Each structure stands twice: as structure tokens, then as C-alpha cells.
Amino acid sequence: MDWTDRHCRYFHRLIAPGILLYTEMVAAQALIHGDVARHLDFDAREHPVALQLGGSEPSELAMAARLGERWGYDEINLNCGCPSERVQRGSFGACLMAEPELVARCVDAMREAVTLPVTVKHRIGIDRHEDYGFMRDFVGTLAQAGCQTFIVHARNAWLKGLSPKENREVPPLRYDLVFRLKREFPELEIVLNGGITSFDEVDRILRELDGVMWGREAYHNPYKLAQVGSRVYGRTSAPRSRSEIVSLMVDYCRRYLAEDQRPGPQLRHVVRHMLGLYTGCPGARTWRRTLSDPRRLAQNDVALLEEAHREVSEAILASGFAESA
């Protein structure tokens, strides 16, 4: 939440055509009772993109899924992995793993409501439930309800005592349990999430599983996504350079600031997602510092992004650094 918004997804799409993008989690009640367009509008160039929902009431999730299909999303995903206390108070997220029958009813209601794939993202367990059988039974119950795709964050979620950030780092990763899940449910699509940072790891995982989801790694080092085409899909066409991506994002920012009719379109809403673009390059610190200047950002002038690009380009040229994917 607050990370993979529409600006972030547009930026990532420029880097990596073809990958499946996910929205931030949207509460079903927020769609039913709130501003639907504000939550669901997205650029057609983001496709394929999945709408990630949070909720625990089957009828509400069915209504939200119908809205997602009407808005043109390619998949509906139910979040059963978020451990935050705020989400728990709404009775959704990781705490739902303790109620597989309820989740199965939610999945069934959404599948009845839409023609899109309905998928589930979850953890390997909650709190001290560290036995494999807990996850196996959860997945088995949902599979009987018709869910065919499971994105598994290979850590337990501790519902008390850890912050959401700590829940992404402290509970140990157990890839072995996810590999075992695939062996026991070969007919299901099993995707692994959590702690994956290199393409060597991706290659190893894809020998046993059906997919890999990148979260923090894609966000903090986004240009790594430029390698997906060649490393995962075997494409021979060259990816866009960082400079090309910045140029396209300058155009995007101009359109956004000129056309967005909602209150308060701001440049910072876009460029905050671009801070990691030059990770590992000369001038990366200057790039981040320029794009984080609150005084300049408040002016809402796209020239700030162009200035940051000139500075980092000069640093790269002076160093002789070879800019490539």
C-alpha cells in the first residue's frame, strides 16, 4: 500500500514490457463506498495489471471484483498476506489464513462475479503456526473453491509484536515449503515471493515453480527489471535505456500535471517512485537528492526531473560508466 500506485506501475512498465504488475491493496469497502475512479483508474499502457483487493465479506468482494473487471483489469487478487494491525482490524490480510473456509467463500463469490482469473497471495503461516500442514490445508481448501494461482510470500506473518517492515525481514524465509507445495499440488500455479534479489535465484526457482514475484527489489532497484526480457523470456531486443525512460517519464509528468482533474496533482507523487532508477551508477546520490528537494518539488515544475537527468548524465559521462541493463 502506498507503493505500487498507478504512477509507479507506469514507470515500471516502461522498464519491463510484458511483466504482470499488481496494484497496491485496495479495500473492497473503499470501492463500494468511496471514489471508485480514484482507486481504479490506470493507464492502458500498464497492461497486464492485476487488481489486489482486501476484504473478508464475500458479497463485498464480489462487488469490488465486478468493478475491477469493468475498469479493465486483467486479474483479481485477494490479499491474505498483509500483517499490519490496521488491516487486521478490518478482518482481512494475513489473519484470514486462520479462516480458510471463509476465504474459500470469498474466492467462490468473486469467481461467480467475474470472468477474470481470481488469485490469492498469502504467507506460509501465521504467528507460530510453522508446520507445513497449515499452509497445505489453506491452499487445498481454496483450490476446491476454484482458485488455481497462489502467490506465496515464503515467511510466516506475525500478527502481534512485529511491524509490517519487520514482518518482511524477521520471520525466516522457507522456500522449501513452497517447493513442497508445488510438488503436492502440481496442477496449481505456484509463484514465489520474498527475499529474491538475483536472476541466478530466479533461474533456480523457475526450475521448480511457475513464477517469481519481486516487491522491494523491483521498487528500490527498478532498472533490474530491464533484464527480465532477456533473462526470463529470452527476448533479444534491447531494453530501453535509463535516459529513454526518463524522457518518457517527463512526458508522462507533463500530461499528469496538465490533465489530472482531481485535486492536487503533484510532481512528487510521480518522481518518488523513480529515486532508485540510477542505483549503482555514478551520480545516483545527486539524482536522489535533486528529486527529493521539497522546495523544488513544491513548484510542480517538470524541469526538476530534466535537471536531475542532466546531472546524473554528466556524472556517468565523466566516469566512463557503461549504461546498460
264 residue type, one letter? G
- A 10 A CB-CB count for 35 gives 11
Alpha carbon 158 to its chain centroid, in Å, reads 21
Task: Given the residues 8, 80, 82, 147, select the one marked as catalytic.
Answer: 82
Cβ atoms of 119 and 75 within 8 Å: the answer is: yes
Phi, psi of 211 (to 5 degrees): -175, 170
Q: Is 106 a catalytic residue?
A: no
Phi, psi of 114 (to 5 degrees): -135, 165
Which conformational region is residue 161 in: left (phi greater than 0), alpha (psi within -120 to 50 degrees), or beta? Answer: left
Alpha-carbon distance of 234 to 220, in angstroms, equals: 24
Instruction: Round to the nearest angstrom and report the end-to-end CA distance of the chain.
Output: 28
Burial of 153-176, coded b for 16+ CB within 10 Å and e otherwise, reads: bbbbbbbeebeeeebbeebebbbe
| In the block, residue with C-alpha cell 490445508 | 137
**313 φψ region: left (φ > 0), alpha (ψ -120 to 50), beta (else):** alpha
| Active site residue ranges | 82
